[in-house]
């Protein structure tokens, strides 16, 4: 690749053979050589690597890195490894291998650069399931904590505390693809154990989970809260074999900071108005103008298309 890479899209993968090709094509077919896509495979045992290597031959800006399977290495560390391979000045994060992305990533990048003109580069733009920031800044405020769930919260919390977390509400332009039955079962039964494990690692006790279950006003389904209580002993044993996580990863302070940040942001129009500026929607493609001037709750991507 002769052109200097400006943007790095970092993606972890583990056994996602049924979605990874569609997911990557949806990204690769809408970007140019200013972008690179880095996929770190975390020791897949399915056909993922075979599919990835075939795509790597087809796309000159796709780079695949294989890791031997290590049960002690979980999602956050794999994300950190993918970032370590990045050559771009900017990172695009949380674009995953079970997501189909409609062709508006470059418009999201344009929005970032318009904000960058008045805010500088020391911030993370956190959109709907897509994040972007200057690589040097994000690396200096990382890495992710070693967790399977909540690793993004930990980073967002630390950035929000210094005023560097900028949420952006917009129409969601990604679609989560259908998982295989074994992946659905894992998400339903295994993922909650990992969530409880990491909550315990961040300081939550059995009493906290009991209070959660008894909180009839909580938004979580009571069956899910009961399941979390039942699996506590298993999760506790798993947590004791791992290093602690910062309490901030799962506490209410993060939720308060996030709510405050979102209430002060809104769409790109609201964000610019708050900063005494006017956003030129003409810089975006026609459909992207709709996507970034409406909240996710107002309209769906299907209606835009």
Of the listed ranges 115-119, 146-150, 152-156, 201-205, the least confidently predicted one is: 146-150
Pick from 36, 35, 46: which is nearest to 13 by CA? 46
Q: Which CATH class is domain 7-175+266-304?
A: alpha beta
Domain boundaries, the chain: 7-175+266-304, 181-248
Over residues 207-214, the mean pLDDT reads: 87
How many residues belong to the chain? 305
What is the pLDDT at residue 294? 96
CA separation for the pair 128, 104 (Å, rounded): 12
Confidence tier at 130 by pLDDT (50, 70, 90): very high
Whole-angstrom distance, CA of residue 126 vs CA of residue 166: 6
Most confident of 49-58, 199-208, 259-268: 49-58
**Cα–Cα distance for residue pair 144/267, rounded to 1 Å:** 27
**Predicted confidence (pLDDT) at residue 210 exceeds the cutoff of 70:** yes
Residue 103 reports pLDDT greater than 80: yes
Measured CA to CA, the distance from residue 177 to residue 99 in angstroms comes to: 6
């Amino acid at each position: 690749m002769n052109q200097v890479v400006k943007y790095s899209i970092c993606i972890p993968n583990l056994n996602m053979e049924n979605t990874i090709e569609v997911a990557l094509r949806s990204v690769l077919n809408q970007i140019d050589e200013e972008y690179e896509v880095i996929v770190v495979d975390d020791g897949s045992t399915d056909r993922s690597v075979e599919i990835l290597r075939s795509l790597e031959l087809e796309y000159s800006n796709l780079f695949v890195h294989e890791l031997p399977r290590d049960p002690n290495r979980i999602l956050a560390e794999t994300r950190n490894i993918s970032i370590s391979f990045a050559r771009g000045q900017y990172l695009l994060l949380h674009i995953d291998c079970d997501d189909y992305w409609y062709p508006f990533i470059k418009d999201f990048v344009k929005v970032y650069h318009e904000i960058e003109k008045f805010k500088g580069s020391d911030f993370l733009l956190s959109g709907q399931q897509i994040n972007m920031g200057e690589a040097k800044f994000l690396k200096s405020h990382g890495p992710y904590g070693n967790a399977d769930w909540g690793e993004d919260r930990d980073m967002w919390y630390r950035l929000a505390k210094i005023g560097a977390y900028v949420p952006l509400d917009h129409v969601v332009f990604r679609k989560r693809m259908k998982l295989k039955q074994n992946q659905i079962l894992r998400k339903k039964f295994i993922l909650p154990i990992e969530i409880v494990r990491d909550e315990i690692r961040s300081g939550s006790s059995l009493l906290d989970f009991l209070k959660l279950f008894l909180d009839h006003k909580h938004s979580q389904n009571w069956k899910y809260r009961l399941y979390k209580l039942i699996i506590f002993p298993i999760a506790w044993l798993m947590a004791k074999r791992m290093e602690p996580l910062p309490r901030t990863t799962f506490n209410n302070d993060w939720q308060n900071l996030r709510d405050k940040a979102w209430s002060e942001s809104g769409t790109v129009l609201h964000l610019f108005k708050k900063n005494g500026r006017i956003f030129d929607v003409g810089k975006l493609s026609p459909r992207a103008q709709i996507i970034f001037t409406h909240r996710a709750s107002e309209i769906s991507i299907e209606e835009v298309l």
